Chains A and B, each alone.
Chain A
């Protein structure tokens, strides 16, 4: 079982360029999340989606947008990248009530983005 697939695994991007990080899950989880991981700060929530067709802002949403057209896909877009967006990005999903909820987050393997 693939679980959550993220692409690309690594990317170098010039400042001012746009970029979409892809995230696909095959577990039919309702909730999906995007986090960024920075040293000493742990994981911070960028955007989330509790179900297909809905999205919400997390702790650090500025400069990022998401869409949730279907259950499986949750892409994260940087419209105009800046160096402070250099980070490791994790996509995650979670079972919710009605799917045998455990509350556990399932993570993708991460996407390392460097903005120069």
Chain B
């Protein structure tokens, strides 16, 4: 069975510092995609970044990067230069071909001024 684990229910980071949100996954499929979504207090789900299982390089999108370690089955999200607006819930998700998305329980990030 496919599973996403996010072991950090809550995280704090000082403004302008970098922070890493952990995500590990479990799948037997060789081809899959890994996603991160942000959910601010307003409630909407915002897509941040995508990593394919065959991608050779780690994905980056602005201040977001995905630290993909395939052998360890981890896909940690790194946010550089944290901003107050980064305070939100962050969800890691995975999708394999022919399977539906699986989401982790989320990590609540609080950015301190």
| Cα–Cα distance between A88 and B93 once the two chains are bound (Å) | 18
Question: Which A residues are CB-close (under 8 A) to B106?
Answer: 42
Q: Which of A48, A58, A105, A109 contacts B47 (CB 8 A)?
A: A105
Binary B-proximity of A71-102 (CB < 8 A = 1, otherwise 0): 00000000000000000101010000000001
> How many chain B residues touch the partner (CB < 8 A)?
19
Q: Verify A107–B44 contact, CB threshold 8 A.
A: yes
Q: Given contacts A42-B91, A102-B50, A104-B50, is CB(A110)–CB(B44) below 8 Å?
A: yes
Q: Verify B100–A43 contact, CB threshold 8 A.
A: no
Q: Verify B101–A45 contact, CB threshold 8 A.
A: yes
Binary B-proximity of A27-64 (CB < 8 A = 1, otherwise 0): 00000010100001111110010000000001000000
Q: Verify A41–B105 contact, CB threshold 8 A.
A: yes
Q: Verify B105–A42 contact, CB threshold 8 A.
A: yes
User: B109 to chain A: closest CB distance in Å?
Assistant: 15
Name the interface residues of B44-83: CB closer than 8 Å to any CB of A.
Answer: 44-45, 47, 50
Q: Verify A103–B43 contact, CB threshold 8 A.
A: no
Q: Verify A40–B100 contact, CB threshold 8 A.
A: no
Identify the A interface with B (CB < 8 A): 33, 35, 40-45, 48, 58, 88, 90, 92, 102-107, 109-110
